[in-house]
Structure 1
Amino acid sequence: MRSILAIFCVWICFGVDASTPSAGCSKIPEVENAEVSQSSRKSNYTDGDKLEYNCKTGYASLLKITFNCTKNKWTKLRDGKCSLKRCELPEDIPNGRYIIVSGRSFVFGTTIKYICKDDYQMMSRFDTRTCREGGWDNQLPVCEEVSCVPDNTEENVRVEGLPDNEGLIRYGHRLTFSCIDYGWILQGPNEITCLSNGQWSSPFPKCEGETCPLNTTVEDLKMERFPNIDGPVKPGHKLIFSCNREGLKLKGQKEITCQSNGEWNSPFPKCEEVMCVANLTVNMRSDVTKDGHPVPEVSVRPGHTITLLCVGRGVKLQGEKKITCLSDGQWGNPFPKCLGGKCGTPPRVNSADTIEMTKNEYNSGERVEYTCFNKYILDQSHPYSKYLTCEDGEWRGNIKCLQPCSVSLEEMDERGIQLRWRGREKIFSPHGDRIEFSCKKGKSSIGLIQTCNDGVMNLPLCV
């Protein structure tokens, strides 16, 4: 009776409602192959709180798994269940196969990767597929035969080996290259190969060369480019020249070509005033004079006429005595000649003299022989000889005497050398003579044998 009264007193004295249980849900329920979602996790749960569960990797549930805290107890609202999830057997693809990258038995979360056969390449954006709730994600990839795409080539590059009708360039196919324009140099390999990854063994080569400068400041000169394109002048390109007004003629090459080193094969020509030029022989005169004296060279403009005559006994003019200069710088008639006649005393020749007494007059066809002074050597190689011949009142021929070499004792002392087989006398040797020197005591050198060449001898230096 006392215990009943004590309990009644507690209820009355402290205001405790005997019908109210302890607040909150305690232990979280365990669900097979599932775990509480992160958003549902709390330290304490009270009436009205919910727990949501997610299936573990490889498992799935058709219904959402949810518990509700009611009167301090967890009540399951939906009877979901996490079961092992599988995808259908993966499909094969033509010219390829798959391998498992992660997971097992094609269950939920398993990832597979597709690999193409040799000589084929993956053409799809994705080469992997993963087992999801709705099955395999991504579309089946595609393997196509390995081929290379030709690069854009420059106009001056010649490509050989491209297939007809824009066909595939398969693995192992080769292309060869060369430069179309003359003088250009191929920068890169002259042959490349299509590799098994669909790439070329090397980048496509280019044709390069130095550009040639354009001299546009030449007065009265007109230039035409071939090919006729703007921009820098490349190797193999040409320039064709002409003069831009009458009364001028081109002096130099009419056409020049740009070379691979960036230089023209000939200098730029010039435009000069058209003139007719005549070099008069010694027995010919013209009515053109300078300060009242005859001149050996006559230059006149187009339209001008000159009169020619021959001088000397027996000399006769062959041809027209009056000739007119034409607009192209040529004479209107063949230039006349002075034929026949006699020659006067033979001319003086440096370092030489005639071997016979000379006359005051020689007939056409007569000749005189010359000999060189002592230590001088007569050069008889073409166009030289030992004769001068009288032809139509003129002495014709070429005589040359090769000079000896002279070396003083002072020059030898300065270079530390001495004559090997002679005394200390001064050297005076004819052309072609070989002189052997030796170094003075305590000195050395190379090239101690030297040859006299028309008055010049390179002396050795002993140090």
Structure 2
Amino acid sequence: MRSILVVFCVWICFSVDASTPNADCSKIPEVENAEVSQSSRKDNYTDGDKLEYNCKPGYASPLKITYNCTDNKWTKLRGGNCSLKRCELPEDIPNGRYTIVSGSAFVFGTTIKYICNDDYQMMSRFDTRTCQEGGWDNQLPACEEISCVADSTEENVRVEGLPENDGLIRYGHRLTFSCSDYGWILQGPKEITCQSNGQWSGPFPKCVGATCPLNTAVGDLKMERFPDIEGPVKPRHKLIFSCNTEGLKLKGQREITCQSNGEWNSPFPKCEEVMCVAKLTVSMRSDRHPVPEVSVRPGHTITLSCVGRGVKLQGHSKITCLSDGQWGNPFPKCIGGKCGPPPKVNFADTTEITKKEYDSGEKVEYSCFNKYTLVQRHPYSKYLTCEHGEWRGNIKCLKPCSVTVEKMDERGIQLRWRGREKIFSPHRDRIIFSCKSGKSSTGIDLTQTCNDGEMTLPLCV
């Protein structure tokens, strides 16, 4: 009997010890509308471990929800329930609007972002607000009209374009600058534009005293200053030139003046060897010089003659070059005679069928190709005239401007009044462009004029 009791006791004791490991904290408590925080997660929990819960998006609890594993059981230490939290409908702001960045229905955790209307900029430090327990965080932002501040300028800088009564300088407004005093030049941009970021397109310029460059490496050129002083050459100062070597003559202006823009009114002259130059006409020949322009040194004599049907020499056939570069006798002429067919002219053609031969005094009329513009101011006209066996006159056709759709797309522009066809506009034609949607001009005028095939295209970015 005693042995039976011992066996029974052993069985009972063994059974109690074996059941103890099942009473642990392996099962995590479920909390409505909440999840265990990432920092609390682990594979096994033992006595003394803690669990922290975070409310799901849109829910909030006044206290942090915390459980503690004690005596192999989870016990709630603190915290309430995660309940749905909402904020009041967001307020609109003048000259702006808001959009939801994250969340929905303006519940707890929802973030909204405020955006200013076109031509307005955000002036507040924060442009977002988030729904918290106590409502929306951050103050309402403010949008103000985009404007630029006119920096102070020096006394001798003249500014045009400033609004009256210190009015607002809005986006796109332009200022132009010039120097108010003679002898000063503008250092910096002549024009700046208020940009969409409230900044000027360039710095405010300054006016600095103008000086003209003095080139001392002039070889055989003798240079005298007036007034005869050292230092920078200022506006109204002059230089007088001469050649200091015999057999040389001055080519260019003998006297040049420094202008108010820091540039000379004429280029520096040069000293060149004295030569007599004869430009031969089509019907004139020189005995030893088959080229149309003859250059000989003083003392040389050339013999001239005329060629062509009915052409005669008027004047001396022999002329000698003098020491001053002039001919000893007046240069002769070839008179009379007939002309052959009229010459070809770039971008133009004759209006009538041409002949093989023309008498002196006959004219031939030309017209420019389509879209090309004929220049008729002196020295140009629409006629060439046969004079003593030569065609005389000047004809010039100005080229049109051509701009492709691809080029306009590349510059971010389009035609304001036309479709997307290729531009083909004659000289002096005015073209009005506009920026494509979402782009703004960099400051180049959107109205441009064709000038002999050249036209500056605006740029919009």
What is the TM-score when the length of structure 1 is the normalising length? 0.48
TM-score by length of 2: 0.48
